[in-house]
């Protein structure tokens, strides 16, 4: 029986969401195949490994002492989804679920991933990076590049934390003037149908599988914000979307393309807008949410895959990836 450390929490703004994801993973873990180990990274950086409280380095030592076979990453956002924990686990030799540190870091940087997508012919909203120390000089450039309404968001964060819909120069000035971030991303607001497409690597299958996409219809907000994402009933989610088969296929193809461009492994979920002139990619999430309201489990269910079966596929994929032979280094 393999021992699975389900790592959740973290020091970032998505700590609570991550806890919810981790608890759902523990709840749906196949106990006949896996022995669970709950690992919570507290907001102050202390690791809670089972019943043992450890500082950062002590937490890693405890994971090694527990002889963990694989870490299931239920982390989100800064430190958990940006390549940091991935690099640490690679250094210690513990296999983990999801993408490697490089793919995670690139996906987390919204501007860098936007540039990569654009280079591969994928539509992205017009946008620009704003340096807060020089925000006053950026306003006119934002107006020319993005227009109104526009969307202002942290350059590296998830779960729509800190995302603002801006309708005029007064709101834009207020947001830039009071931002706690060093850099922000401003994007044109694309009108259309909001959708998200999940991708799952199935063990034994060399080709990732695009899951049925989901149409997102917020009931209480102008866009899919933090409240809409994590409040049951706040959003109508339709899987598959009420769109033509051709558009649904295009969404799946773009999700697979983004998964490949970034070098994602295991799972990913790409958020898009279906507009009149085409499909625009907003971002790719390398560790999508696993809460009871999360989208990837809904998409897996649409192809007949239960939550426990999806968790098993993700774990087995990580173990399979770790056991894959490495290419020899030429001398």
Q: Which residues are catalytic?
A: 14, 159, 230, 269, 271, 283, 285, 289
What is the crossing angle of helices 307-323 and 295-302, to 10°?
100
Give backbone dihedrals phi and psi of 208, rounded to 5 degrees, phi first.
-60, 150
Measure the CA–CA gap between 5 and 85, rounded to whole angstroms: 13
- Count of other CB atoms within 10 angstroms of residue 80: 28
Bond prior to 159 in cis (omega within 30° of 0): no
Give me 219's structure tokens.
């009931």
Give me 217's structure tokens.
């219809």
Measure the CA–CA gap between 129 and 155, rounded to whole angstroms: 8
Going by DSSP bridges, is the β-strand pair 183-188/47-49 parallel, antiparallel, or unpaired?
unpaired
Largest distance between two CA atoms of the chain: 61
Give backbone dihedrals phi and psi of 272, rounded to 5 degrees, phi first.
-145, 165
Place of tokens 């998830």: 158
Which residues, other chains included, contact 120 with Cβ-Cβ below 8 Å and sequence gap of 6+?
A: 257, 261
Measure the CA–CA gap between 242 and 212, rounded to whole angstroms: 12
- Count of other CB atoms within 10 angstroms of residue 282: 22
What is the crossing angle of helices 110-119 and 101-108, to 10°?
100
Beta strands in 42-175 (DSSP E): 47-49, 52-54, 70-73, 127-131, 150-154, 164-166
């Amino acid at each position: 029986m393999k021992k699975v450390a389900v790592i959740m929490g973290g020091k970032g703004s998505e700590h609570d969401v991550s806890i919810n994801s981790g608890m759902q993973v523990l709840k749906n873990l196949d106990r006949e195949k896996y022995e669970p180990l709950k690992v919570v990274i507290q907001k102050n950086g202390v690791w809670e490994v089972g019943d043992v409280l450890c500082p950062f380095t002590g937490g890693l030592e405890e994971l090694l002492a527990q002889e963990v076979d694989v870490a299931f990453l239920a982390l989100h956002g800064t430190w958990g989804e940006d390549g940091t924990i991935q690099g640490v686990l690679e250094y210690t030799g513990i296999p983990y679920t999801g993408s490697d540190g490089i793919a995670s870091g690139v996906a987390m940087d919204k501007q860098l991933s936007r540039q990569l997508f654009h280079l591969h012919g994928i539509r992205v909203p017009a946008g620009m990076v704003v340096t807060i120390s020089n925000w006053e000089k950026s306003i006119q450039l934002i107006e020319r590049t993005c227009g109104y309404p526009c969307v202002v968001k942290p350059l590296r964060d998830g779960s729509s934390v800190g995302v603002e819909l801006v309708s005029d120069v007064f709101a834009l000035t207020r947001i830039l003037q009071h931002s706690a971030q060093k850099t922000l991303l401003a994007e044109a607001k694309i009108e259309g149908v909001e959708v998200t497409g999940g991708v799952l690597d199935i063990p034994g299958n060399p080709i990732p599988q695009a899951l049925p996409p989901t149409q997102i219809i917020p009931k209480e907000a102008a866009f899919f914000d933090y409240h809409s994402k994590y409040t049951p009933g706040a959003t109508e989610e339709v899987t598959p979307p009420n769109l033509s088969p051709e558009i649904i296929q295009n969404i799946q193809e773009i999700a697979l393309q983004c998964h490949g461009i970034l070098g994602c492994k295991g799972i990913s979920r790409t958020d898009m807008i279906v507009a009149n002139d085409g499909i625009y990619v907003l971002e790719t999430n390398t560790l999508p949410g696993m809460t009871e309201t999360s989208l990837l489990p809904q998409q897996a269910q649409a192809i007949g895959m239960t939550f426990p079966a999806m968790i098993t596929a993700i774990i087995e994929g990580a173990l399979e990836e770790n056991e894959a032979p490495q290419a020899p280094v030429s001398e």
